[in-house]
A and B are shown apart, each in its own frame.
Chain A
Amino acid sequence: MLRLEAMREIYPLLAERVVVTNMGAAPAELFSLGHRPGFFYVEHSMGLASSVALGIALARPELEVVTLDGDGSVLMNLGTFTTLARHRPPNLLHVVFDNEVLLSVGRSFSTATATGSDLAAIAAAAGVPRTGTYRTTANLAAACREALAARELAVLVAKVEPVGPASYLIDLHLLENRFQFERHLRSLPRAEAGGALAAGHAENQEPTGGRP
């Protein structure tokens, strides 16, 4: 499947939600389908789109957050699956477009998903309750709808062709995007105050892997 076609298929789900993308092709293609004030494009800091989405999901449990990521970005921050799993925000859907290459530098550098690393299986093994790998836009869209309806943290991997847009630049400066997005989130009604912000506090295991 083409990432652009997959995005077009799930665009109605995205348009009414908070969306955080990774860098490169995803922002350009999503922007080409129609920008919304609830879309935030995390250009350049590879791996952190899902961390930004987690921060939003925990801070504002009443919002539904979708993060659109890529295999190269996720591989730079694989620990994110374990962090998502231990906090398990029910309002977060993580979609990973896996084209098996670092596309923005050309197609010559394949990622480890080209040689057998299975991101959905890694997410499942990290403890993410709902995972899957999809090869058609219809199956991906159905899985997205089911995950959102179930209100359960999900990591859904979409296998896509290594093709991208002609340009990665969009006609929206990243600071313009950032301030517009913040203003939009602050304008959305908040859940009742009181108590810890979200499921994050319920997670109460012993710390592991600190720096002594």
Chain B
Amino acid sequence: MPVSAASSQLVYEGLKDCGIRLLSVLPETWLVHLVSLAEADPDMTLVRLAKEEEGVGVSVGAHLAGVRSAMLMQNHGLLASVNGIVSLAQLYRVPLLMLVSYRGGFGEEHPWQTEGGGATEDLLRALRIPYLLLARADEVAARLRQALTLAEASLRPVALLLCRDLMWEE
């Protein structure tokens, strides 16, 4: 499978270095290695969701309980989580670190991913969610730290978009 194992490892190590102890996940192809890494880690609580919006609730609960968490999902999961993000994380001023695989951009071969790809960044801007594109392996650790720092300082959601150049080896 051409999902990058090396980049997945880097992202996972970055999350661990940030002190993330709970990951709520609905997997997609690009995220399979990350899910396996969390599964194999006895110090990580992996929360498997039925729908991504639940993850907003889980992360809000974990934060209020004093545990750092992150959400791992596809951009279509971000689309499916909008009311939770707005009416829970933003309304209640809770930091929310969202790692979102950015499907449907340049190089996307699956027709069903393309509409969501076109809406992703406009949606993040409309929700006033600060985001960065994560496309290079050498940026992963620093960007994760910066995203978490901003989320915790602003008490708001922050997103990192995991791009094809990082996650897919062609």
Contacts and interface: CB of A to CB of B under 8 A. Distances in A.
- Decide whether A and B assemble into one complex: yes
Given A42-B88, A48-B54, A178-B93, A200 B46 contact: yes
Contacts of A87: 47-48
A143 interface: no
Interface string B135-150: 0000000000000000
A79 B58 contact: no
B118 interface: no
B29 interface: yes
Interface string A43-72: 111011111111111111001000000000
A45 B57 CA distance: 9
Interface residues of B, number: 46
B5 to A, nearest CB: 17
B169 interface: no
Nearest to A80: B54
Contacts of A58: 22, 45, 47, 58, 61-62
A185 B83 CA distance: 25
A40 B64 CA distance: 10
Nearest to B60: A52
Given A178-B93, A212-B29, A56 B50 contact: no
Contacts, number: 155
Interface stretch (B9-17, B35-43, B119-127, B157-165): B35-43
Contacts of A175: 92-93
B87 A44 contact: yes
B62 A55 contact: yes
Given A56-B61, A58-B47, 4 more contacts: A50-B57, A53-B61, A55-B64, A58-B58
Interface of A: 20, 40, 42-45, 47-60, 63, 77, 79-80, 82-83, 86-87, 174-175, 178, 181-182, 185-186, 190, 194-198, 200-201, 203-205, 207, 209-212
Interface of B: 21-22, 24, 26-29, 35, 39, 42-51, 53-67, 69, 74, 76-77, 83-84, 87-88, 91-94
